[in-house]
Amino acid sequence: MPLKHIVVIGASAGGIETLRALLAALPADFDSPICVVLHTAPQAPGVLDDILNRVGTLPAVNASTGMRLKPGQIYVAPPDYHLLIEPGVLRITKGPRENRFRPAVDPLFRSAAQVYGPKAIGVVLTGNLDDGTAGLWAIKQLGGVAIVQDPRDALFPSMPQSAIQHVAVDHVVPIAELAPLLVRLTAAPAAEEPHRVPEQVEMEVNIAKEHNPLDAGLGGHAEPSSYACPECHGVLLQMKEGGRIRFRCHTGHAYSVAGLIAAINEGMEDSLWNAIRALEEGGMLMHRMAEHLKGDHADSQAATLMERAEEARRQSTEIRKLASSREPLQTAAER
C-alpha cells in the first residue's frame, strides 16, 4: 500500500529529551513511518531505539538496509551510519560525513525529498549549529512540509534558528504542539503530482550512498574554493543553494559555513596542543642530553642544550596561554 506521508526528524544536542517528549505524545494509530537522525558519536552504543520504546506506544527499531517502511513504525539511524530513504525501504551507508557527523540530518531529509516529494514532512528539533537546514530546504523545494521546533522552546536553539532563517518553513511550534500537528498533517491527503528532483539533490543523495562524488557530478554543481577540507585536506568545492553557500570536497565531506568554521576551530586547537607537545618533548630530550653530557666533560655543550631546553619550555608556556585563552572563530549568526 503506498504511503500517504513520511515523517523525517533531525536533532542534536538535547535531542533525547525532546524526542522522548514528542514520540510519547503520538497516538498508537499514527499512520505514517517516522525516521529519526540524532547526532551520536561513532562509538555510541546505539540504544536510542530502546529509549524510545520505553516512552510511547509506537515501536522503534534501529534501521538496517532493506528494511521496509511501515506506518506507525519509528526507524532510528544507527551510530556511524547515514540513514537514507529509497522507495518503500531504508538504506544505511558509510557515506562521507556531513557537518562532521555520520549520521547527519541533511542526507536523510534530502533522500526523503527525492523519493517522496510532497509526501515528505521534515522536522528540525533542538541542536547546535545548522545540520538539517539544507535538507529541510530540499524538502520544501520539492513540495513537502517544513516544521521547526520553536527556538524559544528548544534546549539548544541553533539548529531551529538556522532552519527558520534559511527556509520558508510552514510551522514553528513548541514541542507540546508538535504531535497534534503531525497527526493533522499525516491525516490529510498529500499531493500526488510527480515532482522533479533537481540534479544537485540527486547528486548529493548519491554521494551519501557512497558513490564517487566526481562521478556523481559534483564538478558540475560546484567550483573550487580557497579552502581545504578539515578532514581529508582536499580542496573544498563551493556550492550555492538558495541564498546559502555550502562546501564539499572531492571525497565527499560536506560543510555549511558554520560547520566549516567549527571544524577549523577544532583544527586550530589541535594544532596548538600539538605544538605544545612537540616543544615539551623537545625540551625534555635536550634537558636529558645536557645532564648526560655533564658527566662526559662537555660542559659547554651541556650548557647550550640546557639553554635551548629552557627556551623550548618558555615557548611551550606562551602557546599554552594562547590555547587556553583563544576565543573561537564565530559566524555572524553565532555572535
Catalytic residue chosen out of the listed positions 12, 111, 162, 256: 12
Q: Spot the catalytic one: 106, 130, 131, 153.
A: 131
d(CA 50, CA 110): 26
| Preceding amide of 103 cis, omega within 30 | yes
Catalytic residue among 5, 32, 39, 49: 39
State the alpha helices, DSSP H only, in 88-224: 105-116, 133-141, 158-166, 175-187, 199-208, 213-216
**What ranges in the chain are assigned the alpha helix state H?**
15-24, 48-53, 105-116, 133-141, 158-166, 175-187, 199-208, 213-216, 257-294, 299-325
Residue environment code for 252-264, b if the CB has 16+ CB neighbours within 10 A, otherwise e = bbbbbbbbbbbbb
- Residue 39 designated active-site: yes
Shortest CA distance to 223 belongs to which of 203, 198, 200, 240? 240
**Is there a contact between 112 and 146 (Cβ–Cβ < 8 Å)?**
no
**Widest pairwise Cα distance in the chain:** 92
292 DSSP 8-state letter: H
C-alpha grid cell for residue 8?
A: 523525517
Backbone angles phi, psi at 145, to 5 degrees: -105, 130
For the question of residue 150 being annotated catalytic, the response is no
Q: Is 325 a catalytic residue?
A: no
DSSP state, residue 193: S
Q: What cell does 261 get?
A: 568554521
Cα 304 versus chain centre, distance: 51
Q: Tell me how far apart the alpha carbons of residues 256 and 78 are, in angstroms, rounded to a whole number.
A: 23
> Which residues are known to be catalytic?
12, 39, 131
